[in-house]
A and B are shown apart, each in its own frame.
Chain A
C-alpha cells in the first residue's frame, strides 16, 4: 500500500517531505487531545507537543514555496482508543498548490481507486453535499438549526439522551446525528465523499465563496468508516488568528489543557500561503478496509495495549 501511494505521487511530481513530530506548538482544536513531553537541555526546559497532524509544519513549507507536497507520518491523539482508533496512527497528508476542492476530490478518487485496484473492486465513487445527504437520511436541514426539530428527531429514533448531551449546541447535534444516523450508511463498498460542511464545522477550511453557510471541507467514507478529511485551505492569517482565539476560549471554558497559538504558522500565513487544497487520510483504516479487518488492532503490529 505504501509503495502504491509513493508511486502515485512520484508520477504526479508531488514532493515527499518530512516535518517534526515534536514541536513547540500544537493545534487548538478543542476536540483533539494531545501528548506533551518535556524537552531538557539545561538550563533550558520546554514543553513540546507530539503532533496531532503534520498540517501546520506542512503549511509552513507551502508558504516557503515548496510547491505540492505529501507526507506519510505518525500522528498522535491522546485519549483516542477503540475499534477505529489508536492514539498513535499513520497518516498520509498532502497539499496541492493551485487546486480547489473539486480537483483534489478527483485526485483522491484516483488514489483510492489505484490502491484498491487488485485487492477489492469498489463501485463508482459517490459525491454528496453534506446538506443533501443529511436531509435524505434524517429529513433535517443541517444548515438551519431548529432545536425543536432536532429533539423530535432524536426522540423518534430512540436517542433521547441526545437532548441532554447536545443541549443547544448545533455542532454537537450535527456530530451526534451524523455519526449515528448518516455515517454508518455511507460508501457501501465504494468511496463516498461528502463536501460542503456547515460553517460551524469549518475547522481549517475556507468558507465557500458562494454560500457563507457552508465551508469547503470534504470527508471521505468507505463502508461507513471515516477515512479522511480535506480542505480548501484557509490562507487568511487574521481569520486564522480569530479561529485560534475562538478555539482557545472554548478550551478554557471546558477546562481543557491550554495550548499556544502556533506563531510560526501565523507568520507563514502572513507571509502568504499559496492557494491550495489539502487532505489527510488515516492509513491504518485504509489498510483495515483493504484487508477486510474489523478492528484497527488487526492491522497494527503492536496496538497501544501492547506497545
Chain B
C-alpha cells in the first residue's frame, strides 16, 4: 500500500494509525511564522468508530489502509455469524456480532447494506439510511389518538425498538431512519 504524507491528508483518506485502519476527517496546517510546522489531524478509527485528534510533524507520512465500502445483500444469521453477499459476484462474507454492532438491529434478510472491508475482511456494517420493517409488538392505540402526543414504544421484526405515534398498530410496516433511530412514516402494503 502506498504511504501518504501529511500534505496529502484529505477528508476521507484511509490510513493506518497505531495498527488500526482510520479515516481522515479534517487536516489543519499549523505553523508559527518562525517555528516548526505541524499538521493537526482529526481522524476516525474505523474499528472503534472513535474520533481522535493527533498532531504530526509536517512531512511525516502514514501507510495507506486497504479499506473499501461495498454494497452487499444481507442473507441470514446462523446464530454466531451474519452472512452477506455481493449481488454481482455472489461472493459471500461472514461477520461476527461484534463487527455488526448496532447495525444488527436494522438488518432484515435480503435487505441491502454497506459493508466496509479492510484487507478483504468486514470491518463495519452500515444499514441503509431508511429501512422498512414490520411491527411485531406494540400497545393497541386508544380511540381519539392523533399523530400528536408522546407516542409509544414498538418492537420491530429485527428486534429494534422505536417510538411510534399512538395510531400505528401492531402488524403494520413502518419506515425508520437508521441514523437517528426515529420513525418516519407508515408504509402502505
Measured CB to CB, the residues of A under 8 A from B are: 29, 31, 79-85, 158-159, 161-162, 165, 171-172, 174-176, 178-180, 183, 201, 203, 219, 226, 228-229, 282
Contacts and interface: CB of A to CB of B under 8 A. Distances in A.
Nearest to B30: A179
A71 to B, nearest CB: 17
Given A80-B29, A85-B31, A179-B30, A165 B37 contact: no
A81 B29 contact: yes
Given A165-B55, A165-B57, A176-B38, A226 B32 contact: yes
Given A31-B37, A80-B37, A161 B29 contact: no
B35 interface: yes
Given A162-B55, A165-B55, A179 B28 contact: no
Contacts of B54: 161
Contact of B34 (A29, A79, A85, A165): A29
Contacts of A203: 34
A180 B32 contact: no
A172 B29 contact: no
Contact of A179 (B7, B32, B53, B56): B32
Interface of B: 7, 28-38, 40, 53-58
Contacts of A31: 31, 34-37
30 contacts: A31-B35, A31-B36, A31-B37, A79-B37, A79-B58, A80-B29, A80-B31, A81-B7, A81-B29, A82-B29, A82-B30, A83-B28, A84-B29, A85-B29, A158-B53, A161-B54, A161-B55, A165-B55, A175-B36, A175-B38, A176-B38, A176-B55, A178-B32, A179-B32, A179-B35, A183-B32, A201-B34, A201-B35, A203-B34, A282-B33
A180 B55 contact: yes
B34 A229 contact: yes
B29 A171 contact: no
Nearest to A203: B34
A183 to B, nearest CB: 8
A183 B7 CA distance: 23
Contacts of A174: 35
Given A165-B55, A165-B57, A229 B40 contact: no
Contacts of A228: 33
Which 9 residue pairs across A and B have the least CB separation, nearest first? A82-B29, A175-B35, A175-B36, A203-B34, A229-B33, A172-B36, A165-B57, A179-B30, A175-B32
Given A79-B37, A82-B30, 12 more contacts: A31-B35, A80-B31, A159-B55, A161-B56, A162-B55, A171-B36, A175-B36, A175-B38, A178-B32, A203-B34, A226-B33, A228-B33
Nearest to B39: A82
B36 A176 contact: yes
A81 B10 CA distance: 13
A178 to B, nearest CB: 7
A249 to B, nearest CB: 17
A180 B34 contact: no
Contact of B29 (A83, A165, A219): A83
B95 to A, nearest CB: 32
Contacts of A162: 55
A29 B32 CA distance: 13
Contacts of B56: 161, 165
Contacts of B33: 219, 226, 228-229, 282
Most buried by B among A80, A179, A180: A179
A228 B55 CA distance: 24
A159 B56 CA distance: 11
Nearest to A166: B36
B58 to A, nearest CB: 8
Contacts of A178: 32
B40 A180 contact: yes
A303 to B, nearest CB: 13
Most buried by B among A29, A82, A201, A282: A82
B38 A179 contact: yes
Contacts of B57: 165
Contacts of A29: 34
B180 to A, nearest CB: 28
A172 B58 CA distance: 13
A158 B53 CA distance: 9
B125 to A, nearest CB: 30
A228 B33 CA distance: 8
Contacts of A84: 29
